[in-house]
């Protein structure tokens, strides 16, 4: 049987090999390995792509979620609402910060958080909610935002699987995933829709105040060299990764189109099989197809 990779990173690399090899060598020769010009250029190019005021790159998507919760001022004992069905990192960072994860159900068709379940889970200890745009489709952000604003809680979007996907707001506008809540977080893990050749992540926000805090927290709590105002972490994106991500960002829409074409092909083959349910497409979001997931009934899944 032919082995089929989840993502064919080899072919993807071969198509941009010359550009990538040159960019990586340029960084090596420049010796600007940390926070060099490539990181700054990537940051502003991603800000343009997302139409968001601030992008703050960091070391990985898990750090991005942790720093986002720290920036919102979450303190031990606070509750954070998160879907019961997500990648472990979402809940892991909540526990790591000694916060209490409060799990709520997801919509069984789209696998994104149920807004009414969020409302029902709010207590006077709730500090934030983390909607996860699982598999590449956005959660119902209009509803989540209005519930969060009503109760004065923060919203951290976990966009690790949906960078480039668009949320269709009730007002008619299309907004990039991760730019709707207070802070959006993403991962540049190699298999992600925008993946580097190692670990990487970023946070997005339209708030100047939160951006300054996030920058400080991801750099040892330092606002000025050797002035450590907060307890922070050391979480930076390497210049080599930034150089690669700059090239791949230019192809991100094409990568997403290719994922959608593959999904349409899978649909045509799987839909006629009665035991399989193909992925639902919701009305409020485009799909980035980070994952193509089938539901099975009446069969042994294993």
Ligand X SMILES: Cc1ncc(COP(=O)(O)O)c(C=O)c1O
* Tokens coding 166: 């668009």
Per-residue buried b or exposed e for 283-302, using 16+ beta carbons within 10 Å of the residue's own CB: ebbbbbbbebeeeeeeeeee
Stretch that binds ligand X, among 45-53, 58-66, 98-106, 281-289 (CB under 6 A): 58-66
Residue 60 makes contact with ligand X by CB under 6 A: yes
Decide: is 158 part of the binding site for ligand X (CB under 6 A): yes
Task: Tell the smallest beta-carbon distance from residue 272 to ligand X (Å).
Answer: 30
**Pure H helices in the chain:** 9-30, 37-50, 61-71, 88-96, 115-121, 141-151, 208-217, 239-249, 252-270
Applying CB under 6 A, does 193 fall inside the site for ligand X? no
Per residue, the 3-state secondary structure of 94-146, as one string, reads HHHCCCEEEEECECCCCCCECHHHHHHHCCCCEEEECCECHHHECCCHHHHHH
Query: Which residue of 57, 136, 184, 201 would you call a contact of ligand X, by CB under 6 A?
Result: 201
Contact (CB, 8 A) for 294 and 267: no
Within residues 232-261, the interface with ligand X by CB under 6 A covers none
Minimum CB separation from ligand X for residue 9, in Å? 15
- Show the site string, 117-156: x = touches ligand X by CB under 6 A, - = not: ---------------x------------------------
Phi/psi of residue 160, each to 5°?
-55, -30
| Interaction of residue 161 with ligand X, rule CB under 6 A | yes
Under rule CB under 6 A, residue 111 binds ligand X: no
Binder of ligand X out of 61, 164, 184, 232 (CB under 6 A)? 61
Judged by the rule CB under 6 A, the positions of this chain that interact with ligand X are: 60-62, 86-87, 89-90, 132, 158, 160-161, 187, 189, 199, 201
């Amino acid at each position: 049987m032919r082995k089929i990779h989840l993502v064919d990173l080899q072919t993807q690399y071969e198509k941009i090999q010359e550009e990538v090899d040159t960019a990586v060598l340029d960084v090596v020769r420049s010796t600007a390995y940390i926070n060099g010009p490539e990181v700054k250029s990537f940051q502003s190019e991603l800000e343009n792509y997302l139409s968001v005021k601030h992008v703050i790159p960091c070391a990985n998507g898990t750090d991005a979620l942790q720093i986002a919760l720290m920036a919102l001022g979450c303190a031990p004992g606070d509750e954070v609402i998160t879907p019961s069905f997500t990648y472990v990192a979402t809940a892991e960072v909540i526990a790591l910060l000694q916060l209490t994860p409060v799990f709520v159900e997801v919509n069984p068709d789209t696998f994104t958080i149920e807004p009414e379940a969020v409302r029902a889970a709010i207590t006077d200890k709730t500090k934030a909610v983390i909607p996860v745009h699982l598999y590449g489709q956005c959660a119902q952000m209009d509803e989540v935002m209005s519930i969060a604003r009503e109760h004065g809680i923060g919203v951290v979007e976990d966009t690790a699987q949906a960078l480039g996907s668009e949320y269709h707001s009730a007002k008619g506008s299309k907004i990039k995933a991760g730019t709707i809540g207070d802070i959006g977080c993403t991962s540049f893990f190699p298999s992600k829709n925008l993946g580097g050749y190692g670990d990487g992540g970023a946070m997005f926000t339209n708030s100047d105040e939160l951006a300054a805090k996030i920058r400080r927290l991801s750099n040892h709590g330092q606002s000025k060299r050797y002035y450590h105002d907060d307890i922070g972490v050391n979480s930076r994106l390497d210049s080599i990764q930034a150089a690669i991500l700059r090239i791949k960002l230019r192809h991100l829409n094409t990568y997403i189109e290719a994922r959608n074409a593959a999904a349409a092909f899978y649909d045509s083959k799987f839909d006629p099989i009665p035991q399989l349910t193909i992925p639902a497409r919701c009305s409020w979001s485009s799909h980035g197809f980070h994952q193509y997931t089938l539901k099975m009934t009446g069969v042994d899944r294993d």
